[in-house]
Amino acid sequence: MSITTEKELKFVGKSVLRKEGIDKVTGRAQYIDDVKTPGALYGKTLRSKIACGRIKSISFGGNIPWNEFTIVDARDVPYNRVMLIESDQPVLCDGVVLHKEEPILLIAHEDAGLVEEALRAITVEYEKEPGVFEIGQGKVLKQYDIEEGDWQKEFANAEVVFEGEYRTGAQEHVYIETNGFIAQWDGDNITVHGSHQCPYYVHKALKYAFKLQDHQVNVVQMTTGGGFGGKEDFPSVVAIHAALLARKARRPVRLIYDRAEDMASSTKRHPSLSRVRTACTKDGVLRAIEFNFYIDGGAYVTLSPVVLSRGILHSFGPYKWPAAKLHAQCYFTNSPPYGAFRGFGAPQSIFAIEAHMTALADHLGMDPAELRRKNFIHRGDAMPTGQIVEETPNMEALMDRALELSDYKRKRGAWKRGSGKGIGLSTFMHGTGFTGSGEVYLASRVGIATTRNGGAEVRVSSTEIGQGTETVFAQIAAEALGIDVAKVSFRRPETKVVPNSGPTVASRTCSIVGRLVQRAAEKMKQRLAGADIGHHYAEHGEAYEEVEYVPRPGLVWDDNTYKGSAYGAFSWSVNVVEVDVDPVTAMPKVHTLTSTVDIGTIINPVLAYGQVEGGIAQAIGWSTCENVVLKEGLMENHHLTNYVIPTAADAAKIVVEFMPNPYSEGAFGAKGVGELPMDGPGPAIVSAINDAINARFTHIPLMPEEMLK
C-alpha cells in the first residue's frame, strides 16, 4: 500500500537500505562475544538456590586452585546498590536472600572450563525462610489512583453492571544474544563494552557503584540483537559485576551469560491480575469504569513503577468514559525482579479491557465491533486523566478498514460458535514516549556534526538494536539538511563521545529523539547558510550543533494527582484475528491477523512493517505458547528446549495497512511504533479462541492442555 504525507519528501517515507544491514549479513558486525580480549579472565556468578532467607556460610571445596582465582563478594563493592529509580537492589547479596538466582559472589580465571568447575565446588549454607509468590500477598511496592467524575453515582444508577477478572503471564525476551560485558580498568577509569539498549543507565549504575565521576566511566554499545526492554536495566548489574572482577584482578574480564543463566536470572514481563467493572446502558453506551490493576514486581523495585504507570494509563482503552475509578498496585514478592518488556504494562491492562469489552458485548447480545464503535473517544473528548484528545483518533476508519480487509462480518455470520473456527478483534492505543513529566526529566540531547566527506554524523545514545535506529535517523537528518542519505553516518553509542539522548525505550526513539535529530539538522543547515558542507569543513573544521528536548506548550502533567497530559501523542490500531483450533489436540493456530495502524508519518515503510509484524509475532507467542512456569518465583523452564517460542511453522498470515495521521511534534510527523503492535493481539486471540470452542477463557497464555480440560 502506498503511504502519503502532506508533501512529497526525498528520503522520509522511502524504504532506503538499512545502514547496519550489510555488516550484519556479511558477519562483520561485532556482537559482544565476538570481541577479542587478549589476557582476559572469564567470569561467572554464584547465585542463590533459595528464594528467601539468610546466608550462614560459604565454603570453597573441590580440587580447585582457589589461590589462582579472583573472587568478589559484597565487601568489594564501594556502594553495594544498583542505581535506577530506587537503589534498593544490592549489587551482590549482603547476607539476606530475597529471590532465587540472587547474585552472591563472582569468580574469574583465565581458564573458562575451570571457572565452570569451580562454581560447582562452592557450597552455600542457608537459613531458609518462607517466601511470598502471589500477587497481593506481599508488601505494596507502588500504587497509583485516578478518579474522574461521579463513578459511584454512575454505578448506582446503571442499567447494566458487568464485571470480570483477567490474568496475563510472564514472558521471556529471547533476544538474539545473551547479556554480556567486557570490563577493563585504566587506572581509576573504567570502560565496558556490552550488549545493551541504554548506555547512560549503565553509566549511571557504574558511577554510583564505584563512586566515580562522569568522566571516569565509558560505556560502549556493541552490536545488540534485540532488547525488547530486557536490556534496559538488567545490563547495569552485569556491567558492575564485570567491572568488580576486572578491578580486583587488574585484568580485563569477560562476563557473558549462557542462555540458561540469562533466562533464569534476567527480568521478565510482569504477570498481572486485573479486575474490571463497567456500567453502561442496555444498548451499550458506557457510563463508568472501575479498573483494579495488580502486577508482581519481584524482589526489588527496578522498573516496576513505570510499568505500573503505563498499565493504568492504558487501562481505559480508546473509549469515552464519563466517570472512572482506576487503581493500580505493584507488590513485592520473592521472585527475581520483573522488568520492562515491549509495551511495559500496556499489553497487560489492554488485554483486560479488550477481553472485557468483548465479554460485555456478548452479555448485551451485541456485536463486539459495534459496542466499540458506539463508545470510541474523539477529538475534544477527555480521558480519565483529564487529558483532552487534541488529535483525531479516527478509530472508526481504522476499524472499518480492518473489518473490510478481514471480511469480518461475513465470517462472523458464517462461522458457528464452537465450530473450531473463530474470529475476534481488539481496538487500542499506545502513548508515545515517557509518561507525563518523564521526557522533561530526561532533558534528552542530540548532536549533529559535519564530516570531511561533505556529510553529517548523528551523535546520540539511542541505540540500534535491530529496529532501524541508524537508518531512520539518517533519513531524518538527510531530509532536514538537504543532503544524500548515504552521506549521513551514525556514531556508535559511547558515553564519552555522544550526548545523552535518553534510553531506547517507550516508543520514543523515532518520534521524540528523531524530532531532536530533525531540529539539530535544521539548526546546522541554518548555520551553514547554504554553504557546501565539504567546503565548510575544509575551511573551518568540524561544525557541531546540539539541541535539547523542550516540551510543547500545553503538555502538563501532575505527578502528585496523576492528572494531565500523560503523553504528547497516541498511536492507534485495530486487530482482527482468525483462529483455528484443532479438535483433537486443542492446539490453536492463528491463521490470519489483520492490523490497521496509525503511527503518524512513516519514516521507512519496510522498517515500520517489520516493527508491526515482529510485535504481532511476539504477542502471538505470549498469548498461545510462551508459558513461563514459575516454581518458588523462579522460571523453572529456563531453556529454549522447554520454553516454547513461535517458529516459522507457527507464523500467521499478517496483513498490515498503515493509515497515517501525522503528529506535528514528531519527527516529520512520526509517532511511536515499537510497542503498539504488542498490545492488541492477545485479547483478540483469546476472543477468537473462545468463539471457536464456545468457551470463556480470560487469561494468557492460553495453552492447549487447559482447553482440553
Could you tell me the CATH number of the domain that includes residue 694? 3.30.365.10
Task: Give me the helices (H) in 274-431, please.
Answer: 304-313, 346-364, 368-375, 395-406, 408-414
pLDDT at site 649? 87
- Report how far residue 327's alpha carbon sits from residue 315's, in angstroms, rounded to the nearest whole number: 10
pLDDT over threshold 90, residue 668: yes
Q: What's the whole-number mean pLDDT along residues 534-541?
A: 96
Q: Do 358 and 170 contact (CB within 8 A), yes or no?
A: no
**Residue pLDDT, tens place only, 420-478:** 999 999 999 999 999 988 999 999 999 999 999 999 999 999 999 999 999 999 999 99
Cβ-Cβ contacts under 8 Å for 540 (sequence gap 6 or more): none
Q: What's the whole-number mean pLDDT along residues 347-351?
A: 98
Percent of the chain at pLDDT > 90 equals 97
Indicate the SS3 state at residue 449: strand
How many structural domains does the chain have?
Answer: 3
Same domain, 598 and 678: yes
Q: How confident is the model at residue 7 (pLDDT cuts 50, 70, 90)?
A: low
Grid coordinates of 85: 529509580
Same domain, 411 and 526: no
In a domain, 367, yes or no: yes
Same domain, 296 and 413: yes
pLDDT over threshold 80, residue 295: yes
Same domain, 520 and 568: no
Angle at 240 between CA 236 and CA 242, to 5 degrees: 115
Q: What's the whole-number mean pLDDT along residues 379-391?
A: 97
Q: What's the whole-number mean pLDDT along residues 289-297?
A: 98
Grid coordinates of 232: 534496559
Least confident of 76-80, 186-190, 552-556, 621-625: 552-556
Structural domain of residue 296, as residue ranges?
272-436+563-708
Backbone angles phi, psi at 185, to 5 degrees: -100, 145
pLDDT at site 554? 84
pLDDT over threshold 50, residue 5: no
Q: Do 289 and 356 contact (CB within 8 A), yes or no?
A: no
Rg (CA), the chain: 26
Q: Do 230 and 267 contact (CB within 8 A), yes or no?
A: yes
In a domain, 520, yes or no: yes
pLDDT at site 483? 98
Q: Where among 548, 582, 610 does a domain terminate?
A: 548
In a domain, 355, yes or no: yes
3-state secondary structure 327-371: EEEEEECCCCCCCCCCCCCHHHHHHHHHHHHHHHHHHHCCCHHHH
Q: Do 388 and 380 contact (CB within 8 A), yes or no?
A: yes
In a domain, 10, yes or no: no
Q: Residue 183's closest CA among 245, 233, 231?
A: 245
Q: How confident is the model at residue 8 (pLDDT cuts 50, 70, 90)?
A: confident
Same domain, 89 and 211: yes
Same domain, 50 and 25: no
In a domain, 632, yes or no: yes
Q: Quick one: DSSP state of residue 376?
A: B
Q: How confident is the model at residue 179 (pLDDT cuts 50, 70, 90)?
A: very high
Burial class of residue 627, CB neighbours in 10 A (0-12, 13-18, 19+): buried
In a domain, 146, yes or no: no
pLDDT at site 638? 98
- Report how far residue 680's alpha carbon sits from residue 428's, in angstroms, rounded to the nearest whole number: 6
What proportions of the chain, in percent to the nearest 5, are helix, strand and coil?
Answer: 30, 25, 45
pLDDT at site 552? 86
Same domain, 324 and 251: no
Cβ-Cβ contacts under 8 Å for 698 (sequence gap 6 or more): 164, 165, 166, 167, 355, 359, 686
Q: Which amino acid is at 305?
A: P
- Measuring CA to CA, how many Å separate 293 from each of 19, 504, 560? 41, 26, 19
Q: Is the dihedral of CA 415, 416, 422, 423 positive or negative?
A: positive
Q: How confident is the model at residue 9 (pLDDT cuts 50, 70, 90)?
A: very high
Same domain, 245 and 277: no
Cβ density class 234-259: b for 16+ within 10 Å, e for less: bbbbbbbbbbbbbbbbebbbbbbbee
Q: What's the whole-number mean pLDDT along residues 516-536?
A: 97
Cβ-Cβ contacts under 8 Å for 107 (sequence gap 6 or more): 43, 44, 46, 69, 70, 71, 72, 115, 118, 119, 122, 245
**Residue pLDDT, tens place only, 77-91:** 999 999 999 999 999
Cβ-Cβ contacts under 8 Å for 31 (sequence gap 6 or more): 176, 177, 195, 222, 223, 224, 225
pLDDT at site 270? 98
- Report how far residue 386's alpha carbon sits from residue 163's, in angstroms, rounded to the nearest whole number: 24
Q: What's the whole-number mean pLDDT along residues 599-624?
A: 98
Q: Where among 548, 582, 617 does a domain terminate?
A: 548
Grid coordinates of 204: 549511571
The pLDDT mean for the chain works out to: 97
Q: Where among 217, 245, 265 does a domain terminate?
A: 265
Same domain, 344 and 377: yes
Same domain, 102 and 77: yes
In a domain, 145, yes or no: no
Same domain, 117 and 219: yes
Q: What's the whole-number mean pLDDT along residues 477-504?
A: 98
In a domain, 307, yes or no: yes
**Residue pLDDT, tens place only, 264-274:** 999 999 999 99
Same domain, 41 and 84: yes
